[in-house]
Amino acid sequence: MNTKITGKIIVVGDNIDTDQIYPGRFLAITDPKEIGSHCLCGVSEDIAPNFPKGGIVVAGRNFGCGSSREHAPIALLSMGASAVLADSFARIFFRNAVNLGLLPVICKGISAGTVTVQETGEALPCEQLGDQAMKILEAGGIKPLMRARFGKQ
Amino acid sequence: MHAIEKILAKNSGRREVRTGEIVTAKVDFAEINDLYLQTVYSFYEMGGEKVWDNTRCAFVFDHYAPCPDIKSAANHKEMREFAQKNNLKFHFDTNCGVCHQVMPEAGVIYPGMIVVATDSHTTTHGAFGAMGTGCGATDMATILMTGELWFRVPEIIEVRLEGEAPRGVYPKDVVLAVLGRIRADGAVYKAIDFTGSYVENLNVAGRMTICNMAVEMGAKTAYMQPNQDVLDYVSRRAVRPYEIQYTDPGYQYAETHVFDVSRLEPQLACPSSVENVHPLSEVVAGGPVKLDQGYIGSCTGGRTEDIAIAAKILKGKHIPAYTRLVVVPASREVMQACMAKGYIQDLMDAGATITTPGCGACLGAHEGILAPGETCITSTNRNFPGRMGSTEALMYLASPATVAASLLNGVITDPRPYLD
């Protein structure tokens, strides 16, 4: 997959858990747009309303730890995020993101304060994702793959 | 091979598997909780028609039990319709309890199986020698369609727990001490095998508490070799024949961490991170920590043993005015046992609020939400900002004994003087 993603970033910290990404009090909501409007409200209520379309969330270690709620990547996608860049991801969040076609970029050593802005031109190395994750991401998520497998294009 | 690898190999039709390999394995039981109507949506979006096996999957309505609002009620209704349409053999409605307590009680959890649920705390079932792991809604929908899921064979960390716990030190204290050392991301993508003499002698409830919290270290799954207590439990309940898997002698773990349980004291995870763990004495020495609410419940700390110790500490006494203690039995079976033994009466006499079995306020959905500026001590699993309500509330994670002793005084309190 050869895709260039460019976007404005917002920077959040380490151990941003699923309750901060999408608090429990909103879990009964099923409309993706409404889900997106609450994204990261546990960090700040101001993030979702002002998030730049196609923007990138940059985080430290263990992004998405906690619950298995798929609302977390749905919220990020629906808010307009094109990718999440982090030092590391919690496992279930990582799988959920890949399944929905939200790109999780693992960039070791990244943390609040060390993000390099575009103007400096510095390139930070990222980890190569596994073949299985890449196969799903290249298809645009698990849903197109499953539809193809079950002959429901 | 490790027992977990043998489970993965068996369910993926292989003789052996190696760390890092991707395998597609059969899922022996799949559970969807009531936060995951998206599972039904993803199932139909992907072309699903009927679930692959109506005896191997079930809904558990636990997070909204019973429903607090119209939205969650409408979600339940849709899920109930899906369950009925697929003629699911097992269905656990709002009268049952937390999925990780309800499933073992119903006999659908047994050694050597793979259980996948739409809940991160599915690591709990390592207590029974099963491989349990959590997934999201769409992964679950692929399981409902195919009966399988892909897994990366994880590195396995050994956490060896040796010795006998001193009086006043409970499984929750032990796992908090482990979490404080391994940290919240110390086991991401990995499995944790809890071994050692402490585990060999531990009862089912204690095993479940420890395996439950493995996910707070990021673990994909947890494991404990079944002991006699486990076999007594599952042999009375299991709905299918099972085969216990054993780790080969000399198996090389990716890491080993050894803990001397006999040297531990009660522990606390302080606000607002599960890894912010300190011995209780250290926190108390810093001055009184005033409490507004205590909470005993959840898949971590709401079992009969947990409620029993709280009742023992609070019997014949009363919590102070302007505090509240919310007690949420993990299941109907737990609540009935606690009623039969008089624990519920003792706790109510002491001023506790008893709510319906389920997840309650553990995830901030209902039944015990915290206001800004309030402080809560809880036997649950997470103290993330906003977990139980306001992001400006503070939460301390502790054993049920510490919760009970603390509520008795309205400040965080060492339970040990209250156990005689």
Pick from A14, A68, A98 the residue to mutate for testing the B interface (most B CBs within 10 Å). A68
**How close does chain B come to A120, measured CA to CA in Å?**
31
Architecture of domain A9-128: Alpha-Beta Barrel (3.20)
Q: Which residues contact B81 (CB under 8 A, 6 or more apart)?
A: none
Strands B22-26 and B148-152, bridge-based pairing: antiparallel
Nearest to A29 among B71, B135, B391 (CB): B71
**Would you place residue A151 in the very low, low, confident or very high pLDDT band (cuts 50, 70, 90)?**
confident
Nearest to B220 among A24, A70, A91 (CB): A91
What region does B180 belong to: left with phi over 0, alpha with psi -120 to 50, or beta?
A: alpha
Q: A19 vs B386: CB contact, 8 Å cut-off? A: yes
Confidence check: pLDDT of A119 > 70: no
Q: Give me the pLDDT at residue A112, please.
A: 47
Using an 8 Å CB-CB cutoff, list chain B residues near A100.
138
Domain residue spans of chain B: 3-260, 271-418
Q: Give me the pLDDT at residue A114, please.
A: 47
Residue in chain A lying closest to B142 (CA): A146
Q: Give me the pLDDT at residue A125, please.
A: 80
Beta bridge partners, B326, equal B295, B353
Confidence check: pLDDT of A117 > 60: no
Helix, strand, or coil (residue B15): coil
Domain residue spans of chain A: 9-128
Residue-wise pLDDT for A61-99, tens only, equals 999 999 999 999 999 999 999 999 999 999 999 999 999
pLDDT (tens digit, 0 to 9) for every residue of chain B, 420 residues total? 999 999 999 999 999 999 999 999 999 999 999 999 999 999 999 999 999 999 999 999 999 999 999 999 999 999 999 999 999 999 999 999 999 999 999 999 999 999 999 999 999 999 999 999 999 999 999 999 999 999 999 999 999 999 999 999 999 999 999 999 999 999 999 999 999 999 999 999 999 999 999 999 999 999 999 999 999 999 999 999 999 999 999 999 999 999 999 999 999 999 999 999 999 999 999 999 999 999 999 999 999 999 999 999 999 999 999 999 999 999 999 999 999 999 999 999 999 999 999 999 999 999 999 999 999 999 999 999 999 999 999 999 999 999 999 999 999 999 999 998
Segments in B35-170 forming alpha helices (H): 37-45, 70-85, 99-106, 137-146
**Would you place residue A5 in the very low, low, confident or very high pLDDT band (cuts 50, 70, 90)?**
confident
Q: A24 vs B365: CB contact, 8 Å cut-off? A: yes
Q: Give me the pLDDT at residue A118, please.
A: 62
Is the separation of the CB atoms in B192 and B217 below 8 Å? yes
Q: B38 vs A74: CB contact, 8 Å cut-off? A: yes
How far apart are the C-alpha atoms of B222 and B134, rounded to whole Å?
A: 11
Beta bridge partners, A84, equal A57, A104
Q: Amino acid letter at B327?
A: V
Helix, strand, or coil (residue B326): strand
Q: How many helices (H) and strands (E) does chain A have?
A: 7, 4
Q: B365 vs A70: CB contact, 8 Å cut-off? A: no
Confidence check: pLDDT of A153 > 70: no
For residues B176-200, one letter each, b for 16 or more C-beta atoms within 10 angstroms of the residue's C-beta and e for the rest, the string is bbbbbebbbbbbbbbbbbbbbebbe
- If we measure between CA atoms, which residue out of A20, A99, A95, A26 comes closest to residue A57? A20
φ, ψ of residue B393 in degrees (nearest 5): -95, 155
Q: A96 vs B72: CB contact, 8 Å cut-off? A: no
Q: Are both B3-260 and B271-418 of the same fold?
A: yes
Q: A68 vs B382: CB contact, 8 Å cut-off? A: no
Burial of B160 (0-12, 13-18, 19+ CB in 10 A): middle
Using an 8 Å CB-CB cutoff, list chain B residues near A108.
none
Q: What is the pTM of this model?
A: 0.97
CATH code 3.30.499.10 for B271-418: yes
Q: Give me the pLDDT at residue A113, please.
A: 43
How far is residue B371 CA from its own chain's centroid? 25
Q: Give me the pLDDT at residue A1, please.
A: 65
How far apart are the C-alpha atoms of A58 and A81, rounded to whole Å?
A: 11
On whether any CB of chain A is under 8 Å from the CB of B374, the answer is no
Q: Give me the pLDDT at residue A116, please.
A: 55
CATH code 3.30.420.40 for B3-260: no
On whether any CB of chain A is under 8 Å from the CB of B38, the answer is yes
Residue in chain A lying closest to B185 (CA): A62
Q: Longest C-alpha distance within chain B, in Å?
A: 63
